[in-house]
Structure 1
């Protein structure tokens, strides 16, 4: 387990290491730091138990298998204290019972079912019996790039009896069960197909809200894929992209306008995501921030620093210092 955590740069947080009297407050602190500011309550007489592992994935997403004794978790009113908390959480129940309340709706999950909630808004989660679940935390801006109507999809249940929902649930359960056998490349390579499946499943919850036709959606997906694979080239321009994908710059910008952005803003976003991800990797600690920015496709450092802080709320240097502190704290804990 420990070697696999190291391989995938995961962190484990488990109440087993603490006296029973300290577990509830410790768990509240950990959830508040890693997920959202919450109040945690026992709903059973037995000692608090919670075992969570957090694996950093791509573009600021994180994959977290969690086992817990009965608990109720309620979002506190104060604002997120970390930029990393501005997320949507996709939850899949592996075992037990789970109720989510948000936006005036409540949803009850059974094994394999999936729902979504906004971590920054009020919500209440009730698990009345021992449960296992998987949380995928997805940065708000990243998910909104894929689903412009994502705010309408919270506290709704994805059907997993047939169709893409069933495929998504089965694949996620298999992926979670095989985590301890995966190397870093395999783990990272599963990001695109799993997030694509989750996006398609969420889209089915409110199909009337989809702003693109199926053919336009497919076209935009392929344009994004081309950009994702080539945005590290500093000379990537609208003309180069248009020539590569076979559509006019005007039409491509029309597609991006349906997601309230533009072609080159999307390119900049993907470059920022690359730097953000690299700043979280220990393997990149020896590189300067300028080197990371240049490798991502930026050639104007003043512009890079300005848009990075605007996007993530911290300067690149501040984020690096924050990551270093987390790595140091983790090393001391272990």
Structure 2
């Protein structure tokens, strides 16, 4: 199924007096019925991109200070039977609901039911990634339990943090690729639903959670990408972040054809090669690039680099960037 950018809109091209009505009408059609109140002298400055991902939808939303509200009356007038997973990536948020109030910071994820009323306020500029999961899809693919009250994720265990970080990377990368015309629907849908399932099942289902290796692999790869520069990064550290044993981590990587340790090395070599061939890095020595990407010594880096690419680090550099005396 091809990726479909459902809508990309901004209030900046709309007359200030008409921005709120425009925003509310757009969201009623593209996402969910709500009312909006801006709190800036400039009025509402907001943008939103919606992307279809199979049976689910994601939205990238950015704006200045404002409040959105889904009142009981709005819920009746514009019914919506979904579970939203909203990841705040910039700014702060205040989420009021029937049972109380949640304070959100960048990096927090809140899971909530669109059939129930809520108010979501942003006291400063904000950015969020929102996943719209139809209720039936949520029950089949994520958790059977009912989201009777909003659930806040992001401040629990290290493995919970790793899951949220992977969700953020997956959504951000998919949005970028989708805008470039790539078909990311199937892969992104599976990863996102597995990640939400891994977060939600322990809280909403009595049955024990069995995390899919597909999502575990995504979490492991994301953790590696974010810690490549750490010279201490190893399979044991990745396993701890994912919440599994090193033996199980090896099983997770089996479909890739490489071990966790080899994956770390391959990623480091790839990033180092990209930096070495970039004209913007011409002032960096091979030793500095080696250290930057977590290699213990330049000698080790040069040896594994030659084994992987058939050239030394110095030989792949642009001619103008090579020093008079080779350093590798």
| Category of TM-score, reference length = shorter chain | 0.5 to 0.7
The equivalent position to 1:165 in structure 2, one of 156, 160, 164, is 160
Q: How far did residue 47 of structure 1 move?
A: 2.3
The equivalent position to 2:83 in structure 1, one of 68, 83, 88, is 88
Paired with 1:147 and 1:103, the residues of 2 have a C-alpha distance of 22
The equivalent position to 2:197 in structure 1, one of 185, 196, 199, is 199
Could you say which residue in structure 2 is the equivalent of 1:268? none
Q: Deviations over 1:149-174 (max 9, x none)?
A: 1323x322113564442122212222
User: Does residue 1:118 correspond to 2:116, yes or no?
Assistant: no
Change (3 A) 1:56 1:81: farther
Change (3 A) 1:177 1:79: closer
Could you say which residue in structure 2 is the equivalent of 1:34? 30
Contact 1:160-1:169 at 8 Å conserved across structures? no
Paired with 2:31 and 2:116, the residues of 1 have a C-alpha distance of 12
Which segments of 5 or more consecutive residues in structure 1 lack a partner in the other structure? 1-5, 219-334
Contact 2:3-2:184 at 8 Å conserved across structures? no
Report SS of the residue matched to 2:164: helix
Paired with 2:131 and 2:10, the residues of 1 have a C-alpha distance of 19
Could you say which residue in structure 2 is the equivalent of 1:21? 17
User: Does residue 1:151 correspond to 2:167, yes or no?
Assistant: no
Could you say which residue in structure 1 is the equivalent of 2:126? 131
Deviates more, 1:106-115 or 1:161-170: 161-170
Report SS of the residue matched to 2:67: strand
Q: Deviations over 1:208-250 (max 9, x none)?
A: x5232346x87xxxxxxxxxxxxxxxxxxxxxxxxxxxxxxxx
1:148-297 superposed matches below 5 A: 148-152=144-148, 154-160=149-155, 162-178=157-173, 179-182=175-178, 184-204=182-202, 206=203, 209-214=204-209
Q: Give TM-score scaled by structure 2 length.
A: 0.57
Which segments of 5 or more consecutive residues in structure 2 lack a partner in the other structure? 213-328
Give the count of matched residue pairs.
207
CA-atom RMSD in angstroms: 2.6
Q: How far did residue 187 of structure 1 move?
A: 4.1
Greater helix proportion: 1
User: Does residue 1:49 correspond to 2:41, yes or no?
Assistant: no
Q: How far did residue 185 of structure 1 move?
A: 3.5
Contact 1:102-1:117 at 8 Å conserved across structures? no
Contact 2:170-2:192 at 8 Å conserved across structures? no
Report SS of the residue matched to 2:5: coil
Contact 2:75-2:117 at 8 Å conserved across structures? no
Q: How far did residue 197 of structure 1 move?
A: 1.0
Q: Give TM-score scaled by structure 1 length.
A: 0.56
Report SS of the residue matched to 1:143: helix
Q: How far did residue 186 of structure 1 move?
A: 3.3
Largest Rg, 1 or 2:
2
Paired with 2:102 and 2:82, the residues of 1 have a C-alpha distance of 19
Q: How far did residue 129 of structure 1 move?
A: 0.6
Could you say which residue in structure 1 is the equivalent of 2:226? none
Paired with 1:199 and 1:7, the residues of 2 have a C-alpha distance of 23
